[in-house]
């Protein structure tokens, strides 16, 4: 994989190529990042108190949101884009995406609370989770957010909750709401098309034995799903999310095709267009080896148009739930090299970016390699002939290493490392090892003249907060129990 510091240009900022026009002029993402890294140092965003921080490129997020909207836009087809909140569970991020017309896919009460705090409207919120409690389901139906049931037992729970609502309709429901639809919530069923695994097992949700959805190819399952829809007029959606990073586009499209064909079969059987919307999940992979955006939303949408043309002919609405692909390329972790040492003939840069901010990379380095940019103390690309170095984190276990024997210009105390492509599932998905604080996250906007403005996305967690959330209020509890 590419891992050279020269990925960050030192020369004058490059301009985007391709069709120009006022709204596509400007610096490309790598040029913006290079400027932001320098500006972050100059602004004092790193110091002894905060030796690691997350940086988020506002322009990059808006650009990927626009690319997503444009790729799926089809005359006559209602498309609702939602963002998988687990990929970057930060309120200002959800608010920014809302500003771009993108709602939220939530999978826990916490994620729902974040979406609501960001002001995301109910009609652009989808609840998916394999383990929804009755209380969660009841709240979702009261709010009118979309719900995708994971399994047949959940449908039985929903029967009971729908009956509750029928006898005590929520005040916000119009009196003309049909009795067949006792909640404003569109309700769907998640199916597992069992089309197989991608390159990363833990990210593959459409295997034969995946824990998600109704396994469609199991004996009798498809028939039972058809009957479940026939018995429930309020069940109007099908949902399939084939997997995340590592799933080839063909496999993802195959899963969508299976869901589409099932929708056709259900509608034929019940004799009306009961299934009116297909939720096709997320999962577009991200290129972690370069600054390229590949594959693109356009490529995926075009593949779907070819493989599942009926999805775009106006008979169905489409819901998407992309996470990683919307945010990954726009995030960078910046961390200080605290010490540079050597062991067994290998150079080791001990940095402040480890398992607490790059959990997957540390625990599954082969599946989740990251680029490392070697920077000098001012945040500019470090010069010097590359030598193999380990880039280690601050956690007290031997495996807390971000990159092994990586060829980089020699890193010294006081230098910095930057980890590109960490906008999704990295600094926003903290691992509380060693009581290391959640680092601050700063958003940046780079003007065409190269000047950089920062805003706070999340403040650094303080030691007092760590103490409080670690049971300080109950300090005497255990010792007093004798």
Ligand X SMILES: *Cc1c(COP(=O)(O)O)cnc(C)c1O
Binding positions for ligand X, rule: CB under 6 A: 84, 86-87, 105, 128, 241, 244-245, 281-284, 321-325
Whether residue 340 contacts residue 413, with contact meaning beta carbons closer than 8 Å, is answered with yes
The CB-nearest residue to ligand X is 323
To the nearest 10°, the Cα dihedral for 150, 151, 152, 153? -90
Q: How many CB atoms lie within 10 A of CB 450?
A: 15
Q: How far is the CB of 235 from ligand X (least distance, A)?
A: 18
Query: Which residue lies nearer to ligand X by CB, 282 or 331?
Result: 282
What does the longest C-alpha to C-alpha distance in the chain come to?
77
Q: Kindly give, in sequence order, each residue whose CB lies less than 8 Å from that of residue 56, ignoring residues fewer than 6 positions away.
A: 93, 330, 331, 423, 441, 442, 443, 444, 457
CA dihedral over 149, 151, 153, 159, signed as positive or negative: positive
CB-nearer residue toward ligand X: 204 or 236: 204
d(CA 334, CA 353): 8
CA separation for the pair 440, 437 (Å, rounded):
9
Contact 426, 443 (CB under 8 A): no
Report in angstroms how near the CB of residue 76 gets to ligand X at its nearest. 25
CB of 62 to ligand X, least distance (A): 18
> Minimal distance in Å, beta carbon 305 to ligand X?
20
Nearest distance from residue 423's CB to ligand X, in Å?
11
Q: CB nearer to ligand X: give 258 or 373.
A: 258
CA distance 276 to 263: 8
Residues facing 84 on adjacent strands: 105
Contact of 361 with 400, CB cutoff 8 Å: no
Minimum CB separation from ligand X for residue 323, in Å?
3
Determine the distance from the C-alpha atom of residue 210 to the mean position of all C-alpha atoms in its chain, rounded to a whole number. Answer: 20
Between 260 and 297, whose beta carbon lies closer to ligand X? 297
Peptide bond into 458 cis (omega under 30): no
Smallest distance, Å, CB 112 to ligand X?
A: 14
Q: Is 298 helix (H, G, I), strand (E, B) or coil?
A: helix
CA 321 to chain centre: 9
Burial class (CB in 10 A: 0-12, 13-18, 19+), 308: buried
Nearest approach, Cβ of residue 324 and ligand X (Å): 4
Number of other CB atoms surrounding residue 353 within 10 Å: 34
Give the residue with the Cβ less far from ligand X, 128 or 390. Answer: 128
* Smaller CB separation from ligand X, 86 or 257: 86
Can you tell me the distance from the alpha carbon of 373 to that of 387, in angstroms, rounded to the nearest whole number? 13
**Shortest spacing between CB 91 and ligand X, in angstroms:** 18
Phi/psi for 197 (5° steps) reads -100, 155
Which stretches within 9-103 are classed as H helix?
29-42, 58-72, 91-99
- Closest contact distance (angstroms) between CB of 285 and ligand X is 8
Q: How far is C-alpha 355 from the chain's CA centre?
A: 18
Please report how close the Cβ of residue 205 comes to ligand X at its closest, in angstroms. Answer: 7
For residues 212 and 415, which CB has a smaller minimum distance to ligand X in the complex? 212
Smaller CB separation from ligand X, 283 or 393: 283
Which residues on neighbouring strands pair with residue 225, listed in sequence order? none
Nearer to ligand X, 323 or 381 (CB): 323
Q: Tell me the closest approach of the beta carbon of residue 320 to ligand X, in angstroms.
A: 8
Whose Cβ is closer to ligand X: residue 59's or residue 108's?
108
Alpha helices in 271-363 (DSSP H): 297-307, 324-327, 359-363
267 versus 428: smaller Cβ distance to ligand X: 428
Q: Which is nearer to ligand X, 166 or 250 (CB)?
A: 250
């Amino acid at each position: 994989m590419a891992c050279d510091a020269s990925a960050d240009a030192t020369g004058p900022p490059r301009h985007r190529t391709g069709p120009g026009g006022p709204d596509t002029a400007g610096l490309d993402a790598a040029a913006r990042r290079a400027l932001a890294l320098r500006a972050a140092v100059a602004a004092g965003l790193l110091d002894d108190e905060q030796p690691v921080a997350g940086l988020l490129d506002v322009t990059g997020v808006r650009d990927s949101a626009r690319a997503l909207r444009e790729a799926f836009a089809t005359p006559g087809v209602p498309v609702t884009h939602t963002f998988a909140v687990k990929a970057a569970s930060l309120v200002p991020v959800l608010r920014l995406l809302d500003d771009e017309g993108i709602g939220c896919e939530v999978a826990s009460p916490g994620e729902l609370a974040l979406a609501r705090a960001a002001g995301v409207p109910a009609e652009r919120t989808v609840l998916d989770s394999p383990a929804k409690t009755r209380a969660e389901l009841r709240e979702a139906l009261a709010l009118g957010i979309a719900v995708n049931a994971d399994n047949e037992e959940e449908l039985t729970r929903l029967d009971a909750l729908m009956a509750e609502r029928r006898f005590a309709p929520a005040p916000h429901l119009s009196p003309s709401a049909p009795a067949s639809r006792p909640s404003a919530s569109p309700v769907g069923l998640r199916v597992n098309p069992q089309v197989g695994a991608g390159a990363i097992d833990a990210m593959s949700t459409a295997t034969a034995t995946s824990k998600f959805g109704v396994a469609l190819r199991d004996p009798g399952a498809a028939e039972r799903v058809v009957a479940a829809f026939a018995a429930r007029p309020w069940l109007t959606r099908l949902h399939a999310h084939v997997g995340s990073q590592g799933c080839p586009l063909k496999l993802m499209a195959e899963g969508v095709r299976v869901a589409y064909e099932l929708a056709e079969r259900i509608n034929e059987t019940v004799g009306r267009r009961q299934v009116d919307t297909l939720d096709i999940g997320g999962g577009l992979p991200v290129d972690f080896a370069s600054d390229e955006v590949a594959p693109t939303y356009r490529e995926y949408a075009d593949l779907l148009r070819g493989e599942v043309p009926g999805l775009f002919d106006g008979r169905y609405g489409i819901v998407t739930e992309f996470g990683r692909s919307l945010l990954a390329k726009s995030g960078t972790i910046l961390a200080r090299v605290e010490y540079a040492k050597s062991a067994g003939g290998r150079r080791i840069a001990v940095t402040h970016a480890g398992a607490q901010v790059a959990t997957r990379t540390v625990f599954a380095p082969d599946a989740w390699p990251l680029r490392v940019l070697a920077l000098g103390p001012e945040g500019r690309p470090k010069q010097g002939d590359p030598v193999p170095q380990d880039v280690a984190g601050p956690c007290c276990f031997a495996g807390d290493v971000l990159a092994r024997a990586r060829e980089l210009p020699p890193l010294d105390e006081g230098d910095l490392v930057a980890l590109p492509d960490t906008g999704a599932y990295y600094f926003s998905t903290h691992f509380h090892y060693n009581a290391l604080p959640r680092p601050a996250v700063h958003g940046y906007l780079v003007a065409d003249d190269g000047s950089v403005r920062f805003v706070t996305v999340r403040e650094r967690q303080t030691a007092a907060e760590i103490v409080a959330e670690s049971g300080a209020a109950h300090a005497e509890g255990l010792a007093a129990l004798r």
